Amino acid sequence: MTTPALPRTPVRPAVGARDSWVRQLGPNWYAAVMGTAIVANAGVALPRDVPGLHTACRLVWALSALMLAVLLVARTAHWVRHGDQARAHLLDPTVAPFYGCLSMALLAVGGGTVLVGKDWIGPDAAVAVDAVLFTVGTAVGLLAAVLIPYLMASRHQLKPGSASPVWLLPVVAPMVSAALGPLLIPHLPTGQWQQALFLGCYTMFGLSLLATLSLLPIIFARLLAGPRLPVALLPTLFLVLGPLGQSTTAANNFADVAPAVIPAPYAEGFRMLAVLYGVPVTGFALAWFVLAGAVIVRALRAGMGFAMTWWAFTFPVGTCVTGAEGLARHTGLDAYVWLAVGLYAFLVAAWLVVAFHTLRGLAAGTLLPVGAARR
C-alpha cells in the first residue's frame, strides 16, 4: 500500500546571522540620522559665537550624511531580501508611522549640506545635493502623510485609546519640507520658480499644521485619561515638540525670504506671522517640554531603560532651537537668544547620551544582532 504524499509547505530560506540584522532593520532607525543632523543644523545658526562650534557642526553633518548613506543601502537590502517583513511593517500600526522619518532624514541632511556642508564641498555642489534630497524627501513625506493615515483608517487594527505621539511622524514630514525649502529659494530663477517653491512650502506648512492640530487633542486626551503609554514609549512625548518647533522655524524662514519673492503687502504679513505665530507656539512648546520632562524624570527614577525611542529627545528639541533662533532674529530679544542656547545645550547632551547607548546596544547585539553576528 502506497502512502499518499503529504502536500509540501513552502519553507522560507533560513536567515543567516549576517543577514538577520537587515531583516530586523526598521524605518525607526532614520530617527538617528535626524537627531544627528539637527545638532549640526541648529548649532551653525546659534546666535552666540562658541569657539570650535562651527568645526564640530561640520563633523556632525558629515557623520549624519554617512549614517544616511549606510541606512539607505541597508533599507534597500531590507526591501529586496525581506519584502515580506517590509510589507508587514507597513501594516503594523506601531511601525508604519516611522516611515515619515525617512523623509525627515533626507531633508535634514539636505538642509545641513547647504548650511554646513558647503564649507567642504562648495556652495554649488551643496545646493545640488540639497535639491536632490529635498525633492526626494518632500515626495516621500507627502506620500507618507497620505498613505500612513490611509492605512491606519483602512488596514490597521487600532483600538480605542491607542493614540500615540508616534502618529505625528508622517504628518510632520511636510512641515520639515516647509521649513527647509526656503534655503533653496535664492538659488532658483526669480519670478515664477521662486514664488512656486515659496507658496508650495507655505501649502505644506498648512497641510502639516492642520493635520497636527487634529491629532494633538487625541494624544493629550490619552496622556490625561489613559490608558497610559508603555514605559518604552514615554520618550515619544517629546515628538509633540517637533511640529511646534518646526512650524515656528518655518514661519521665521518664510519671513526671511518673503521680501525678495512676493509683493510687499504679503511679505510684511509673513514678517508679522513669524512673531504672532511663533511666540505663542513657542510658549506651548516650553510648557509641553516641562510636562514631558517631568514624566520622563519620574520614569527614569522608576528604572526606565534605554530604547530607540530615546532619539525623540533630539530632533524635536532641535526644531525648538531653530525656532528660538528665528524668533531671536525677528524680535531682537535676548531672551530668545538664551532660550536657543539653553535648548541647544540640552540637545547636545541628549544626543551624546543617546548616541552612546545606541552604539553600546549595537555592539552588544541588543538593538540589532550586528554585534552578536560578528562574535
Rounded CA-CA distance 348/142 in Å is: 30
Coil, strand or helix at 113: helix
Rounded CA-CA distance 172/315 in Å is: 12
pTM of the shown model: 0.92
Give the pLDDT confidence score for residue 22 in this predicted structure: 86
CA distance to 67, 75, 113, 145, 224, per residue, from 176 (Å): 19, 22, 15, 12, 28
Give the pLDDT confidence score for residue 14 in this predicted structure: 46
Give the pLDDT confidence score for residue 159 in this predicted structure: 81
CB-based contacts of 11, cutoff 8 Å, min separation 6: none
- The C-alpha cell at 257 is 525670504
Q: Which amino acid is at 225?
A: A
Coil, strand or helix at 327: helix
Q: Can you give the residue ranges of every domain in the chain?
A: 25-363
Query: String of b and e for 64-94 (b: at least 16 CB within 10 Å)?
Result: bbebbeebeeebeebeeebeebbeebeebbe
Give the pLDDT confidence score for residue 370 in this predicted structure: 55
Residue 331 CB burial class (10 angstroms; 0-12, 13-18, ≥19) = middle
* Closest residue by Cα to residue 169 from 64, 316, 53, 307: 316
- The C-alpha cell at 205 is 506648512
What's the CATH class of domain 25-363? Answer: mainly alpha
The pLDDT profile of the chain, 375 residues, written as one tens digit per residue, is 333 343 343 334 444 555 678 888 999 999 999 999 999 999 999 988 888 999 999 999 999 999 999 999 999 999 999 989 989 999 888 899 999 999 999 999 999 999 999 989 999 999 999 999 999 999 999 999 999 999 999 988 888 778 899 999 999 999 999 999 999 999 999 999 999 999 999 999 999 999 999 999 999 999 888 789 999 999 999 999 999 999 999 999 999 999 999 998 899 999 999 999 999 999 999 999 999 999 999 999 999 999 999 999 999 999 999 999 999 999 999 999 999 999 999 999 999 999 999 999 999 888 887 544 444
Give the pLDDT confidence score for residue 375 in this predicted structure: 42
Give the pLDDT confidence score for residue 19 in this predicted structure: 67
Tell me if 316 sits within 8 A of 239, measured CB to CB: yes
- The C-alpha cell at 168 is 505625528
